[in-house]
A and B are shown apart, each in its own frame.
Chain A
């Protein structure tokens, strides 16, 4: 009996009861579709973040207080102060460019158009440290900062929101009700395009108010350092930590209440998040495929019972155990493989839909497709063996008498 004939019998058996076969396959379809779509979304999300992080360059060090993971899970946090920036500038100003910023909430309006409500107070080197470039106009200057000028630089999408395609340069917008002149617009970068930048000192005195003060001192959201020499990043980090401890009167043995991290460290933690995510999705996949497999086994057992006489007849005309076993195994395998392939299509569709909606770019990799189809096939074999064995073990005399 050839493979083609066995396949034909399998397809006929599956086609005879289309609704039942479809529902049986649904378990596998949903399982595989979930795996493909989730993996694609996970892949897309992390690769987006990764390329963003990589785009910022390898010599960037970020100091922040209270917002990184280690503070979320216990540990204490101290407020980053403007004086910390001054101390870092004094000790490390020769080796790195240092850009502090404070991010606050404010209303940003042009007539009745409004933009993102988060406003960053920055210093002139913010542009270089973050490797931004200008699309139009100029950036905030040292004079703007010291003179507390009311000037503003817009991110590309903020400019679009506020001016809808008009040239914003030299026009005026209102931040918290006060008039600011737009002096520049940033080139689109794909991330943080919605920012609204004003001179840090202007922010302290006019916008942020008491939010940005702690025990009478100005505070910062973050300090970014761009090392002149990428090689020195690893040695700069302990020195930064030392300065911060000194400034906040902490001993070396205390846990540092700030996070000081380089891009490579961030990449590392991103990768660990990614692998955790993959494991988690794998577990979900495993469970849904398990459920699908049990469905296949259940239906095949019912089918073996229903077709007892048919099996008896096939044996009576000379089918061996092996042939019957193989026939039923091919049936479950066909169901699971078909379900797997349909699942890939559905998952691909979901990934495509998610990408089209612009939420994130979901990428279906060949590896995910291969793994999920292989798993579906494995499920078919594993859960098909028992019913197939039952069918093959039927004794012809009894099977033929079965009502």
Chain B
């Protein structure tokens, strides 16, 4: 279980003080699947970075499994990232010139898994994302969807408490995006894996039953939705826009 209590994040961009998060409080139970949605600049990526211990809040308390993250040093944060968190990025962030298998094995180098177990764990993780046959391929031989699935296998390999994904479908077409969402749903429904993902696409957000909306660093809604879409459901007409908010808004943000 993870919980934030009125966390705020302020950082400086030159002379400008940016308040990325303002008193955000939320609680995510084990086994939940949560979408965080908001326009660019709403603070959703910052929130995810804090949940993933890649960053620390300026104010407020963040608890993982009841333990506060506050005051931990860099190495202790690294240990939490190793043991409790799996991260999936929009850009995949696979190491080039390194096979899919070795990419998946990477987190185990740092977590001290015995060498004998590494290959087995990595192959299991690749099987979970349906890529057993691509283990020896290099990232440039894989499609975008396959690369993202390798990245998901890498995030899963240390059996994390939570899987965090930052715009996991952002760089993928509809069909590849469906594949990724299908994997998330399967992990959550069959294995009880906690999944938190950030998106700006309301349709992608509707693939789960809990959607948290963020605007200007504040939570504006945190609701449960009935009948989430199963992956592969065609995009309904009322969710044709792939961006949260209007097109004009989006241009302003860019």
Contact = CB atoms under 8 A, between A and B. Distances in A.
Interface of A: 1, 5, 12, 16, 309-310, 312-323, 395-397, 400
The 10 A-B pairs with the shortest beta carbon distances in the complex, nearest first, are A318-B82, A317-B107, A318-B110, A320-B78, A396-B54, A318-B81, A320-B75, A313-B93, A397-B55, A1-B109
Interface in B181-232: none
B56 to A, nearest CB: 10
Q: Which applies to chain B's interface (DSSP): helix, strand, loop or mixed? A: helix
9 contacts: A1-B109, A315-B54, A317-B110, A318-B82, A318-B83, A320-B75, A320-B78, A321-B75, A400-B93
B97 A318 contact: no
A317 B78 CA distance: 8
B111 interface: yes
Contacts, number: 59
B74 A321 contact: yes
A367 to B, nearest CB: 40
Contacts of B83: 318
A318 B49 contact: no
Nearest to A318: B82
Given A1-B110, A5-B109, A318 B154 contact: no
B106 interface: yes
A390 to B, nearest CB: 15
B62 interface: no
Contacts of A323: 110
A367 B107 CA distance: 44
Nearest to B81: A318
Contacts of A312: 93
B93 A315 contact: no
Interface of B: 49, 52, 54-55, 74-75, 78-79, 81-83, 87, 89, 93, 95, 97-98, 106-107, 109-112, 154, 158
Contacts of B106: 314, 317
A320 to B, nearest CB: 5
Contacts of A317: 81-82, 87, 106-107, 110, 154
Contacts of B110: 1, 314, 317-320, 323
Nearest to A316: B87
Max chain A Cβ within 10 angstroms of own Cβ: one of B52, B98, B107: B107
A316 B52 contact: yes
Contacts of A1: 109-110, 112
A274 B39 CA distance: 76
Given A319-B110, A321-B75, A400 B89 contact: yes
Contact of A313 (B49, B52, B55, B95): B95
B74 A320 contact: yes
Nearest to A5: B109
A303 B54 CA distance: 23
Given A396-B54, A397-B54, A400-B54, A318 B93 contact: no
Nearest to B93: A313
A309 B90 CA distance: 13
B89 A16 contact: no
A396 B74 CA distance: 10
Contacts of A321: 74-75, 78
Nearest to B95: A310
